[in-house]
Amino acid sequence: MSVQDLDLTVSVLHDLSSKVKSKTNQGASVHRLPNEILHRIFKHLVLRREAYAGYELYVYGQREPGSDTRTILRLTHVCRRWRDLLLNSPSLWARISCSDAEVTRTFLERSRSAPLSLVLSDYDPNAEEILAEHGWRLERLDLAISEGSDLFSLLSTISPWPSSLECLTIYAENTGSTDGPRTSSLLFSQPSLGLKALALAPAPCWLPSNHFPALTHLHLDGASEMRLPNVNQLLTLLMNSPALQFIHISAFDLDDKGDTIPRSTPTIALNHLRSLAFVSCDVETFDLLNYLSIPRHVCLRVHGAEVKDSRRLRVPFLPLMEDLEELEIATEDSRLHVVATDGRSRGFWLHVSAVQRASWKSWICDTLPATIPLSRITSLRVYLGDDLAILPTVLSHMPKLSELRVSFPYSHSLKSNHSPRKPSMSADAPGDVVNQSLAYETQGYLNLRHIHLEVVLHWTAVYKSQDDGAAAFTDMCPPTLVRILATRAKAGLPVSLLTMQPVVSAENIRSRESAEALRPVVGRAFVPVEQYVEEFAVYPVFISWDRTTRIFEMKSLWNIDGAEEYWDIDADEMPKYGLLCP
């Protein structure tokens, strides 16, 4: 047999193999799926949220923004049927990152007239051409602009104005030099835009002056150098956006401390607002709250602010603060954490720190009751460190309090040749506070029925207990606590539930078994009070590497449905607790 005959035989066998493979594939379940089902599967694969870079804020300057194009291109090479189905689905080609000219050209062609989502940089030499030819069908534009870029000239290449545009994101490379202050900041030279979402992250040195009657999401990030050229620009933007539901403002500072809000400024009604967040903003920025009219069912979050003096921290009373029932207070070094909610759908979140280490006693005792009506509070969770003694003053404003959870650090009484303990590490401190709190009840505060003590065991307490056995924690239940619980019981007002939660840092234990052995020891220390409460319980020892408190748990209401519809908020700016406490 000649070489030619062999080549012919190989070719015939190859064709036969292809036909057999094709027949076999046709019998596979996936090839029997209707086109409608296949299209749904393709849509799920191709239009995955993480496949489009525009959802991720702050990518500018960190990595080359892009979108996943490989998935759909690979799918077109599986078989002719799949390829034909994909090529006849323009919407699957309509999310484009313009980082590769050839791929961009292919996707623009195959998307036909479908609404476009476009990740674009003015570095792209074809940016003006793309916007001029395809801007009319934009649904979403995520635009990065470089230093010295004339954004308005670039946007003016879009003609006619894209009435389909729903989301606009602008990343400014240099916030301080993006074509300077402007007398007019009308996007697309239109007095009114139908945008639903606008993000300036980081923002240029101006804010748009258009009317946004449909805008529901506003995200403004000042980066580290952003300063408002005029506070009125922000007020104007808010006034022009009456449908806002989500406002996220981060790293904003006033340009000039003398640039105050005029007293004649009218109140801005934001009747549809659901969430308002100030993250790492200058404390003076909170004055804006005085000029906003917002509904009661709002989540207001002030996080990461710094103040030189706690007396400068003023948050105005707002309707959302009425009838709040659950309150958390924690101080740690120079930080203050206050969260008040109705337990269901609205709340006030305040997390600030003083530039220099300072006590928050005065603010908690005086300013807090003037900010939040405490008379409706039914549940209080608190850690005050060395300021624990002020707790009875706070409780005096809470006649309806029914649940009190107190976290405190504890270590043994040390020998005379050791350093003295801090007041907060003395068992007498929480005992005395509970004593005074219950004493308030005997004067008419009759609702406190559940007391929970979270004791964070210092390493000296852990090892001392292993040496001293059952006698190790007797001072954790001081006579003052026993006496007041007995007095309440005899008066017919016993505490319904007294619970203890031992907490140990993982670095302070020899083994999990040694930590768990602490539970019965703590329980025996509280035997004297068991007869005076309806129920007493010691929970299993909580062991943790990264935190030493369990009483502060963030409620799910802070993760508001719809907040990330258009962008993924940076993890550092999402609602989360960072409390280590003792």
Give a yes or no: residue 452 inside a domain. Answer: yes
Listed range (213-222, 321-330, 464-473) with the worst mean pLDDT:
464-473
pLDDT band at 414 (very low <50, low <70, confident <90, very high): very low
Report d(CA 181, CA 58) in Å as an integer.
23
In this predicted model, what pLDDT tens digit does every residue of 348-376 receive, in sequence order?
Answer: 999 998 877 778 898 999 999 988 999 99
Distance CA 115, CA 138 (A): 6
Poorest-pLDDT segment among 117-131, 164-178, 411-425, 483-497? 411-425
Q: How confident is the model at residue 444 (pLDDT cuts 50, 70, 90)?
A: very low
Cα–Cα distance measured from residue 108 to residue 113, given in angstroms and rounded to the nearest whole number: 9
Stronger pLDDT, 280 or 203, i.e. the higher one: 280
Is the bond into 316 cis (omega within 30 degrees of 0)?
no
Q: Is 224 exposed, middle or buried (0-12, 13-18, 19+ CB in 10 A)?
A: exposed
Helices (H), 76-150: 80-87, 101-110, 127-134
Contact 506, 544 (CB under 8 A): yes
Asked, for residue 351, whether it belongs to a domain, the answer is no
- The answer to whether residue 349 is domain-embedded is no
| Residue 384, in any domain of the structure | yes
Q: What is the span of the domain harbouring residue 498? A: 378-562
3-state secondary structure of 230: coil
Would you say residue 276 lies in a domain?
no
Q: How many domains does the chain have?
A: 1
Give a yes or no: residue 299 inside a domain.
Answer: no
Residue 507 lies inside a defined structural domain of this protein: yes
pLDDT at 287: 82
Would the pLDDT of 260 be above 50?
Answer: yes
* Residue 187 covered by a domain: no
The stretch 437-446 carries a mean pLDDT of 56
β-bridge partners, 95: 117
Q: What is the pLDDT of residues 53-89, one digit of tens each?
A: 888 886 544 445 567 788 999 999 988 899 999 999 9
Q: Record the pTM.
A: 0.86
